Structure 1
Amino acid sequence: MAKRQAPVVKNEIYDVTFEDLTHEGAGVAKIEGFPIFVENALPDEQAKIKVIKVNKGFAFGRLVELKQESAHRIDAPCPIYSQCGGCQLQHVSYEGQLEYKRKQVEQVLARIGKLDLNQVKVHPTLGMEDPWSYRNKAQVPVGEREGGLVAGFYQKRSHDIIDMERCLIQQADNDDVVQAVKRICEKYGIRAYNEEKHKGWLRHIMVRYGLITNELMVVFVTRTADFPHKADMIKEITETFPRVKSIVQNINSKRTNVIFGDETNVIWGEEYIYDKIGDVKFAISARSFYQVNPEQTKVLYDKALEYAQLTGEESVIDAYCGIGTISLFLAQKAKKVFGVEIVPEAIEDANRNAELNGFTNAEFAVGEAEVVIPNWYKQGNKADVIVVDPPRKGCDEALLTTILDMKPKRVVYVSCNPGTLARDLHLLEQGGYETVEVQPVDMFPHTVHCEAVALIELK
């Protein structure tokens, strides 16, 4: 059978109408059914494009001339938006972003999950009243240029750092601290890490901020364990920002793109800062996983709690429980909550957070959810409700099999990846469950990422 020839040619110009957006935010146009992906293009726009790369089943292009704009197109307010890889949707109105995310969830539920959207309600995306300055954690790489330090996000598809004063989706306090730390480091002649040569000292500056408490933590990620001018630098940071409660050094001596190394030491102040989501208080360490948008985290967890439909008599399992954020929300209404998480430090934090809030009905175990929960089931422990909040790769098949064996009345699935959510819902549906409704939540405005909560009930 002859191989189908692509209907487009590299470097040629074509007139197209865009139909959709990819999960990375690029516009999708089709020529004779052959998809072409173009950055900065929006559905319903008409344009001239130049094809810059042709692959076997798709091509990439770039905008040459925009002939008809989408009603959702706006001017991105960030001056470095076109270079920076941090945001992908600032050129889309916020209303348009929320609709794009709802459609994205619907499309994968139908295509990957094989769900009938006449039977499953996908609600409009829950967005923010003010979708700016929401991130409570800044972690920025540090480099050198013309003798001075630069700190900012990486340019798209590269490891070149764009120096920035302000990031519009960061809490302003985080930006202020990053800039001050950069200036203090420059003053004392601190050298930035050079990836190619594996030389230099300072790799990343991280700042964490407690939205409710106003507390700040500064983390230096360094290549070596020494700390030049430590006393002077601590004095300047704490005098400039009295709300800094903790200064931490993390040592990462490896040649790697991974931010953190294995050794973390508090060099000044407390090990934790604190924050609250609703009525629940959390201790946050340098390495704790804590959602970066606390305002929308409450929206997300309130929805998970609503879907769990707890009366106070239920036994609940929280798989992938992290530092116990969802577990403790559930513990407010459940008889007993069992959380499981693979990271030992996260379980230490979860136990501390339970104690901090006076919860005696939450118990936590270290291990892989797909190993621990099947063992609990073999020992006769069953749950009325199971809540899962897995990483981007979704739930392990062994965990889904145990859920099907255990047959809880309800499963609440909190997802950061609609694609793996759809895949896992398909498996649960095949095993005797039905997806009742799905609620997208915009945790990361101006980016393509979308969270969703699904309510799944035993047929």
Structure 2
Amino acid sequence: MLQWPRKVSRLAILSNFGTNTSIRYFNFRAMEPIKQTEDRSEGRGPRGWDTRKRQFQGGRGPKRQKTRKEKPAKEGSNDEVLLADVRALFAAQKLSNISNTSNPSTISNIPESTALKDEDSLSVTIDLASWGTTSVDLEVPTINNVSTLPEPFTEIDVKVVEISSTGDGLALHEPSNRIYVVPFSVPGDIIKAKVIKHFEYEHYSLADFVSVVEAGPLRDDTRINCKYFSTCSGCQFQMLDYPTQLKHKKTIVEKAYKNFSELPPELVPLIGDTIGSPLQYGYRTKLTPHFDGPPGYVSKHDRMKGARLYFKEVPNIGFMGKGLKRTLDIEDCPIGTDAVRMGMKRERLRVGEELEKYKKGATILLRESTLRVQNDDERASKSIPDTIKVATPSHTDFKSCITDNNATSTEYIDDFVFTNIAGSFFQNNNSILPTFTQYIRDHILPPPSSSTDPQIKYLIDAYSGSGLFTITLSSLFTSSSGIDISVASIASARENAILNKLPESQCTFIAADAPELFKSVTYPKDETVVVIDPPRKGCDESFLKQLLKFGPKRVVYVSCNVHTQARDVGVLVRGIEDGGVRYKIESLRGFDFFPQTGHVEGVAVLSRVEISKEGPNAAE
């Protein structure tokens, strides 16, 4: 079978091979075959050029500029996720596909993405002798020469066929057999889009949303609740009804495990329906608008002499524009809570009044904090300036907006209280957290059975932060331990354990890097469950190896990036060769922490399979 090189650029056009010819060249710039000189005794190369002397460069026109190499996408990044969706769409649309036939001499529709680039002639070579044949018949699809594609900033009409896992629409432009990535669009839309950039070797292009030429059946622009939608990069789905958003986010999880887990389909269970947020607007308890520095430039030499730039007017304060390297002026954000929106208006005024204090741009923290008083407290009947008052039958909450990164914020999840350094990480949608933590409580222990296996008594909470899971799950276990690399987060977690009246014998916290976790905890593996909630990049290899060698009875993997989660879960299911265990997936489900956006949180529940007892294919 022909092994196509991984790095790609151009299609091969091979035909009419003679019996004495093993390699054929084709020049894609001239669109004609290159005559090959067989007599190399005279010092002539395969293109008929004399290799004995330096070639004359004159008369060949201007020097060709080298193509800027495209950097590979980072693992688990939006670029990698988008590329996987683009390639899958090409396969589904049969725009570019290798046709494997019983006759090795026939290849149909060789994709441009599988051809080998020759930096000088953009030619492709194939050794026919390795096939045991001397001729190849090709059906060559349309070649997407970038020079024939629409120029940047040209406006074109495209039809959107699906939404990518990044939240952007994927549209087909039939004249060029090319996919355009268009934000703020949904399947069925015909969109006027402005071409921004062509990715020559990946068969897709980026475009900006201009307008809706014809709305598809899923689109209803009367649902849009923000005047900045389609320019601000914050939201993507305000034109969709909420059930459709949840359905799409289930698809994101499905595609993540299909594209990134490297697991056969039979090892991945059906994905559960995405659990929605009780609030679709007004849910974000943290926003971070920013503004850029004053325009102009001061050299390092002049800065050392004290020279500086000054703001001549109040800069744009807000968020990045979609596809732009500039900040939009955002006066209000409807996905923020009432307290955060109130704080945003206040901070915008303050920056304008104190502009002379700023030498450069800045990021503004807007973090909600809650003061809770019982209704029999006389404070419950009073008002507190700069707060939002929320009364319930048992208590009254006063919600304010903190802007100091080092201040302490307070959040309530059901009857649990959590304090955090305001600038540190904590979940940003409190409305879904009770449902979220209850789901994990319901699934962290195995289903009841008549088995004589030891009961799970211990919890290890890796990447514990300020103790959300350690504390909310602690009542299920004899002892729970949380670990985090951040000393400040561990200090908050210990304080939260005290606030929630949990003794140290029941709930402990350790400041250490996650890979050092199993050196610090001595729980018996058969009685232990591990909760993992890593950052977006997922778990590193050393941590996964240690986890597999420790081999806890169960693992619950919570992730804000289902693509790196799928990659890591694949490692846990496959196991490692030098001892240890492997796991099988019990359930997978998404949670919608960020309605109106393309983000989804994932929860994977895994149970241990002993290779020694059930063999290497036990998980299957």
What is the TM-score normalised by the length of structure 1?
0.79
CA contact (8 A) 2:162 2:169 kept: yes
Aligned pairs for 1:165-184 (under 5 A) are: 165-184=331-350
Distance 1:347 1:211 in 2: 21
* 8 Å CA contact retained: 2:289, 2:317: yes
Structure 2 CA distance for aligned equivalents of residues 103 and 15 of structure 1: 27
SS of the equivalent of 1:391 reads coil
- Does 141-150 or 432-441 show the bigger shift? 141-150
Structure 2 gaps, min length 5: 5-9, 12-111, 113-142, 295-310, 374-383, 389-397, 449-454, 576-581, 610-620
Quick check: 1:163 aligned with 2:329? yes
Instruction: Report if aligned partners of 1:149, 1:192 keep a CA contact under 8 Å in 2.
Output: no
Deviation at 1:441, TM superposition (A): 0.4
Deviation per CA, 1:13-58: give whole Å up to 9, x if none.
8775433222321111345875332222212445566654321112
- 2:411 alignment partner, one of 254, 271, 275: 275
Alignment of 1:267-346 (within 5 A): 271-309=407-445, 314-346=457-489
| Structure 1: segments with no counterpart, 5+ residues | 194-198, 215-237, 251-263, 265-270
- Within a 5 Å distance, the mapping from 1:180-329 to structure 2 comes to 180-187=346-353, 189-191=354-356, 193=358, 199-200=359-360, 203-210=362-369, 213=372, 240=386, 249=404, 264=406, 271-309=407-445, 314-329=457-472
The structure in which a higher percent of residues are strand is: 1
Deviation, 1:346, is 0.2
Give the letter aligned to residue 155 of structure 1: G
Letter in 2 for 1:24: T
Q: 1:386 to 1:380 in 2, by over 3 A?
A: closer
Higher relative contact order (CA 8 A, sep 6+): 1
Q: Is the 8 A contact 2:532 2:556 kept in 1?
A: yes
Whether the 8 Å contact between 2:189 and 2:219 is mirrored in structure 1 is no
Match of 1:362 in 2: 507
Structure 1 residue 112 corresponds to structure 2 residue 260: yes
1:205 Cα deviation from its structure 2 partner: 2.7
Aligned length: 408
For 2:465, the aligned partner's letter is: G
CA distance in 1, matches of 2:513, 2:290: 31
- CA 1:95 to 1:245, structure 2 compared with 1: closer, same or farther past 3 Å? closer
- Over 3 Å counting, the alpha-carbon distance change for 1:19 and 1:285 in structure 2 is same
Moved more, 394-403 or 177-186: 177-186
Which one-letter code corresponds to 2:244 in the other structure? Answer: G
DSSP-derived class of the 1:398 partner: helix
Q: Shift in Å at residue 450 of structure 1?
A: 0.6
Letter in 2 for 1:191: E
Change (3 A) 1:300 1:420: same
Q: How far is the alpha carbon of 1:297 from its aligned partner?
A: 2.1
Equivalent residue in structure 2 for 1:85, among 233, 244, 249: 233
SS state at 2:274 partner: coil
- Normalising by structure 2, report the TM-score: 0.60
Instruction: State which drifts further: 297-306 or 140-149.
Output: 140-149
1:73 is paired with a residue whose SS is coil
Aligned to 1:433: 583
> What does the per-residue CA deviation read over 1:313-358, in whole Å, with 9 as the maximum and x for residues that have no partner?
5111111000001111110211111111011000000010011111
Structure 1 match to 2:131: none
1:294 CA drift (Å): 0.7
With over 3 angstroms needed to count, the CA separation of the structure-2 counterparts of 1:125 and 1:139, relative to structure 1, is same
Sequence identity percentage? 27
8 Å CA contact retained: 2:237, 2:245: yes
1:142, 1:192 within 8 Å by CA — same for their partners in 2?
A: no
| SS of match in other structure, 2:288 | strand
C-alpha contact (below 8 Å) 2:283/2:429 kept by paired residues:
yes
C-alpha distance in structure 2 between counterparts of 1:341 and 1:99, whole Å? 34
Please state if 1:452 is matched with 2:602. Answer: yes
CA separation of 1:207 and 1:68: change in aligned 2, threshold 3 A: closer
